[in-house]
Amino acid sequence: MKGNKKRDTKPELAVRRLVHASGLRYRVAATPIKGVRRTADLLFRPTKVAVFVDGCFWHSCPVHGTSPQANSEYWLPKLERNRERDIETTGTLEDAGWLVLRFWEHEDPAEVAATIITTVRERRARAETREP
């Protein structure tokens, strides 16, 4: 499992390139809340947007997720715990005022980036209009 990347996966890099090219800046593999050991793939601190690009196997994609045949008594509980952790992470961040965006690795990077860009810009504009 050491060979499996935690960050800088191909889908994540494709999305990051497009978002960066749009002029938005973000943190990579950053912790949104101090003391909580969870990292977002892209983090926009000022607008409180946390983005996750989830792998189909590791996060049990309903379309592309597969059930391991070898050593399934080890893998199935591990994959289930990953799903539970995703739900827990989303809830924790939302309770702290963050907007959580989750995407699957098989989604079109251009569409994912467009959603992120639109969301971050809208939240930034709303925050600017509220300030005195």
Query: Is the pLDDT reported for residue 2 higher than 60?
Result: no
Query: Is the pLDDT reported for residue 49 higher than 80?
Result: yes
User: Between 109-130 and 10-21, two packed helices, what is the crossing angle to 10 degrees?
Assistant: 50
Number of residues assigned to the chain:
132
d(CA 47, CA 72): 41
Query: Is the pLDDT reported for residue 72 higher than 60?
Result: yes
Q: What is the mean pLDDT of residues 36-59?
A: 94
State the sign of the Cα–Cα–Cα–Cα dihedral 120, 35, 80, 106: positive
Taking the CA atoms of residue 8, residue 64, residue 59 and residue 54 in that order, the dihedral angle to the nearest 10 degrees is: 30
Q: What is the pLDDT, as a whole number, of residue 25?
A: 97
pLDDT in tens, 75-96: 889 999 999 999 999 999 999 9
Domains of the chain: 10-130 (3.40.960.10)
Between residues 56 and 107, the one the model is more confident about? 107
Prediction pTM value:
0.90
Q: What is the mean pLDDT of residues 43-60?
A: 93
Over the chain, what is the mean pLDDT? 91
Q: What is the pLDDT, as a whole number, of residue 129?
A: 85
